Structure 1
Amino acid sequence: MSSVVEQLEAALPRSEVSTDADVAQTYATDQAGFCRAGRAAAVVRARSVDSVQAVMRIASATGTPVVPRGAGTGLSGGANAVDGCIVLCLEKMDRILELDPSTRLARVEPGVLNGSLDRAARAHGLMYAPDPASRNISTIGGNVATNAGGACCLKYGVTRDHIARLVAVLADGSLIRTGADTVKNVAGLDLTSLLVGSEGTLAVVVEVGARLMPARPACGTMVAQFADLASAGRAIVELAGPRNLSKLEIMDRTTVRAVEAIANMDLDTSAAALLLAQVDTVDAPAIMAATEATCEALGATFVATTLDEREGELFMRARAMALPALEKQGHCLLDDVAVTIPRVPDLLELCAAVAERHQVTVGTFGHAGDGNLHPTLVYDAREPGQEAAALAAFDDIVAGTLKLGGSVTGEHGVGMLKRPHLARMLGERELGLMRGIKGVFDPGGILNPGKAY
């Protein structure tokens, strides 16, 4: 390892390389629990493409593992260090290189924060649509690595739908460019889409060409309360399809109570579920009226709507606080599963049944409109047996989701946390193809080993 470190220090600006044990510990994990992390030989905080290429050339020549990372906000262990690796952090590559309103394209470095790109776009009447809850602290490079989603996916799709092209460094240090600025492009295989969601296992993304769209502020917002999960589930199925909503979110009773405990928002903590919906089109009054009528017909105990954008954001604030509020209740193990819209009621029922069976607190919230929920297991690690019960409940939720025809991860990625479950979802032939593709991009297997597939 001393030879690797010496080569890094010789090839890179000294300020970019650290072997300090405390620094290595700081960059050893993302935000996921239950995922092992090793000790890196060095942390490189690259500031240029040249530095990234130099790191990969050294790593390739010496067979040293490289773990790429952005801001470390991931929730699957995808950025966890392995013993003796180089942690290649891209958070310092944070420039917006170009933003062209005429083509609705932006060129950004991977360390640019999602929210920063969106704010820059809005200065031109545009927006960057993908909106993970972490958008103010997560980087575009990390969003690309996991194909991040968010509340707006219901209407606008995931990260992959908004990436025109990429510049990436391969395992041997060579540079590739994928995609095109044009709206239409079917020239060859779609390498851009392949890299999006590959979790740093194929290449290191060093530039992102992002597509922007006209900014559309929320024109209408609804909050509806339900006395039981079944009624809320039926409402989700009815609302997710034809209503042209931009957001449809859910919080169950456990989540609502956690939010109310820290925010004092006068939420009804007796309700079994809270639905929040938004629309961003000029016909918002008609859509909100129809949405309200649907909820009432399906048993909502309370419905309120507003056409005021600021008031609407106040309504949505409770949903943004879901995970931080649950984390205040104890240790959390956050799940990320997805089903088709007709199976959302079944998934809600599954999460409640698992909580009862294992006697574990489960706060379920998430993107009801696209079927991606986040059952969050809350437990006290100091109490004997609670951690084991939480892990068992986590496994049961994943297994139950697969029985419903769903996915083990909707937007957080496989990383380390979901890797044991991937084989249940995919066949051996499919996994073999994925590993074969990795072998083409990364013959030495040095890029983010032990993650995803």
Structure 2
Amino acid sequence: MDDLLAQLRSSLPADALITDPDVMASYAHDMASFCAAGTPAVVVLPRTVEQVQHVMRTATALRVPVVPQGARTGLSGAANATDGCIVLSLTKMDRILEIGQVDRIAVVEPGVVNATLSRAVAEVGLYYPPDPSSWETCTIGGNIGTASGGLCCVKYGVTAEYVLGLEVVLADGRLLTTGRRTAKGVAGYDLTRLFVGSEGSLGIVVKAVLALRPLPPRQLVLAAEFPSAAAACDAVCRIMERGHTPSLLELMDGTTVRAVNAMTRMGLPESTEALLLAGFDTPDPAADLAAVGELCVAAGATEVVPAADAAESELLLQARRQSLIALEKVKSATMIDDVCVPRSRLGDMLDGTAAIARKHDLTIGVCAHAGDGNTHPVVCFDQADPDESRRARASFDEIMALGLELGGTITGEHGVGVLKKEWLSRELGPVGLELQRGIKQTFDPLGLLNPGKLF
């Protein structure tokens, strides 16, 4: 410990190191339940690439594990500390280095908050689409680490599709540059994509070149009420089958709607069993909403209400953005899943989740990026009740098993971390897992980067 602190202090300013146990405790874990977290030896908050390199050289020399962190808004335990590790928090590296209007790129440090970047590029008529629910607080580095998505994925795609190039500090302190600033480029293996979603297990992202789009028109949103989740999922299938490209297509089941009402008093229709939100940012969004509204009615919608303007649209979206927060208030703890299935199996996923909730006598609310088939079942339980906690964990595992059975994946955007590591091998299979471990060994032969995560 003395050697570690002495070597770190040799090239780091005093305010970059935190050793107070009470303060370090706040850096020990992200927002996931049921994920063990250790006690770090030190928390380091670098401000420069050179400082990150010094940390990694020191860690390699002394064989000390390093856990990279962003804003710790993750939901899989990927940012959780291990005993005796260096927690490397990148939140102080928060500069937007460049916004290129001609090239439509932004160059940023990893600690830039998603919403900060989105607003900055909007000022010059550009758009950074990925918008996780925690976009007001989550960082670009964290988004890259988990390959996060958001409400707009159905039209604009996820984080991986916007990362053109990276600068990465490797486990031994070397600096690697991957990718490009150009619109096209196929030189060599795509190492950039390899780092996106790697959860800090291959290297430390210290700079990112991100693709931007022209700022779209303000979107309009409609809300459609359904008597069942199956009917709402049928509407989703009809919308996608007819070739519509909504800017968002989000679903809240009845449990979620009632939780949002209880928290916000927004007056959402509590009699509905599913609320579908569809948005368009096209030149004529009203016409698109009318067409989608007809498809919703054909699928069994009891009420279809299009927003009159952008303000009403944003009010509807606030209900969806509050979903996870509202469900967290139902009980003392939650487990938030992010199983993604083919769109055609979305109804089976929601019906199956409801059956699991009944089997275990639990409240499980589901909100979903329905246009992607990406569901967020939220298991609500009393953490002080051992039996209810056991049933919660069992239901969580059954939901993941259901997702795989339906041809889906155990994680659409939250990552594996600690929470789902035992399930990763089931999805990948032995050959896939062996190759993934081989990649980890190539980049991190000493196993120092975020140990205990993924595998």
Q: TM-score, normalised by structure 2?
A: 0.98
Counterpart CA distance in 2 for 1:82 and 1:404 is 35
Provide the aligned length of Structure 1 versus Structure 2. 453
Instruction: Provide the residue aligned with 2:369 in structure 1.
Output: 367
Instruction: Provide the residue aligned with 2:30 in structure 1.
Output: 30
Instruction: Provide the residue aligned with 2:151 in structure 1.
Output: 151
Q: Equivalent residues in 2 for 1:107-256 (5 A)?
A: 107-241=107-241, 242-256=243-257
Counterpart CA distance in 1 for 2:309 and 2:199 is 39
Q: Secondary structure at the match of 1:332?
A: strand
Alpha-carbon displacement from aligned partner over 1:234-290 (angstroms, at most 9, x marks no partner): 111112341110100000011000000111111111111000010011131221111
CA shift in 2, pair 1:198/1:384, >3 Å: closer
Counterpart CA distance in 1 for 2:301 and 2:159 is 33
Q: Secondary structure at the match of 1:249?
A: strand
Is 1:97–2:97 an aligned residue pair?
yes
Instruction: Provide the residue aligned with 1:401 in structure 2.
Output: 403
Q: Pick the aligned partner of 1:383 from 377, 382, 385.
A: 385
Q: Equivalent residues in 2 for 1:248-267 (5 A)?
A: 248-267=249-268
Q: Residue 243 of structure 1 aligns to which amino acid in structure 2?
A: H
* Cα distance, 1:307 vs structure 2: 4.6
Q: Residue 383 of structure 2 aligns to which amino acid in structure 1?
A: A
Q: Residue 105 of structure 1 aligns to which amino acid in structure 2?
A: I
Alpha-carbon displacement from aligned partner over 1:343-385 (angstroms, at most 9, x marks no partner): 1011011110100011010000020110101000011122341
Q: Secondary structure at the match of 1:424?
A: helix
1:108–1:207 contact (8 Å) kept in structure 2? yes
2:95–2:112 contact (8 Å) kept in structure 1? yes
Instruction: Provide the residue aligned with 1:442 in structure 2.
Output: 444
* Cα distance, 1:4 vs structure 2: 1.0
Q: Residue 310 of structure 2 aligns to which amino acid in structure 1?
A: E
Counterpart CA distance in 1 for 2:48 and 2:33 is 31
* Cα distance, 1:23 vs structure 2: 1.8
Alpha-carbon displacement from aligned partner over 1:295-339 (angstroms, at most 9, x marks no partner): 011110110112511111111111011011111111111111000
Counterpart CA distance in 2 for 1:285 and 1:112 is 35
* Cα distance, 1:220 vs structure 2: 2.1
Q: Equivalent residues in 2 for 1:301-380 (5 A)?
A: 301-330=302-331, 331-380=333-382
The Cα RMSD (Å) is 0.9
Deviates more, 1:264-273 or 1:150-159: 264-273
Q: Residue 259 of structure 2 aligns to which amino acid in structure 1?
A: A
Q: Residue 246 of structure 1 aligns to which amino acid in structure 2?
A: S
1:219–1:282 contact (8 Å) kept in structure 2? no
Instruction: Provide the residue aligned with 1:77 in structure 2.
Output: 77
Counterpart CA distance in 2 for 1:293 and 1:426 is 41
1:247–1:279 contact (8 Å) kept in structure 2? yes
Alpha-carbon displacement from aligned partner over 1:425-449 (angstroms, at most 9, x marks no partner): 1111111111111111111110000
Q: Secondary structure at the match of 1:183?
A: coil
Q: Secondary structure at the match of 1:378?
A: strand
Counterpart CA distance in 2 for 1:54 and 1:219 is 46
Q: Residue 288 of structure 2 aligns to which amino acid in structure 1?
A: I
Q: Residue 400 of structure 2 aligns to which amino acid in structure 1?
A: V
1:41–1:83 contact (8 Å) kept in structure 2? yes
* Cα distance, 1:18 vs structure 2: 1.5
Q: Residue 282 of structure 1 aligns to which amino acid in structure 2?
A: P
Q: Secondary structure at the match of 2:305?
A: strand
1:284–1:307 contact (8 Å) kept in structure 2? no
Instruction: Provide the residue aligned with 1:392 in structure 2.
Output: 394
Is 1:282–2:283 an aligned residue pair?
yes
2:94–2:112 contact (8 Å) kept in structure 1? yes
Q: Residue 53 of structure 2 aligns to which amino acid in structure 1?
A: Q
Alpha-carbon displacement from aligned partner over 1:61-92 (angstroms, at most 9, x marks no partner): 11110000011111100000001100000000
Counterpart CA distance in 2 for 1:436 and 1:189 is 16
Alpha-carbon displacement from aligned partner over 1:11-36 (angstroms, at most 9, x marks no partner): 21111011111121110000001000
* Cα distance, 1:102 vs structure 2: 1.1
Counterpart CA distance in 2 for 1:426 and 1:439 is 18
Return 5+ residue gaps in structure 2 as ranges.
Answer: none
Q: Equivalent residues in 2 for 1:51-62 (5 A)?
A: 51-62=51-62
Counterpart CA distance in 2 for 1:415 and 1:382 is 24
Q: Secondary structure at the match of 2:121?
A: helix
2:223–2:276 contact (8 Å) kept in structure 1? yes
Counterpart CA distance in 2 for 1:384 and 1:429 is 37
Q: Residue 257 of structure 1 aligns to which amino acid in structure 2?
A: R
Counterpart CA distance in 2 for 1:373 and 1:48 is 38
Q: Residue 62 of structure 2 aligns to which amino acid in structure 1?
A: T
* Cα distance, 1:218 vs structure 2: 3.3
Percent of paired sites with the same residue: 50
Instruction: Provide the residue aligned with 2:6 in structure 1.
Output: 6
Q: Residue 192 of structure 1 aligns to which amino acid in structure 2?
A: T
Alpha-carbon displacement from aligned partner over 1:390-427 (angstroms, at most 9, x marks no partner): 10100100011110011000000000001011111111
2:255–2:364 contact (8 Å) kept in structure 1? yes
Counterpart CA distance in 2 for 1:307 and 1:123 is 25
2:217–2:283 contact (8 Å) kept in structure 1? no
Return 5+ residue gaps in structure 1 as ranges.
Answer: none
Alpha-carbon displacement from aligned partner over 1:122-168 (angstroms, at most 9, x marks no partner): 00011111010111100000000000000111011110100110001
Q: Residue 27 of structure 1 aligns to which amino acid in structure 2?
A: Y
Q: TM-score, normalised by structure 1?
A: 0.99
Counterpart CA distance in 1 for 2:53 and 2:368 is 38
1:23–1:43 contact (8 Å) kept in structure 2? no
Counterpart CA distance in 1 for 2:336 and 2:386 is 20
1:132–1:151 contact (8 Å) kept in structure 2? yes
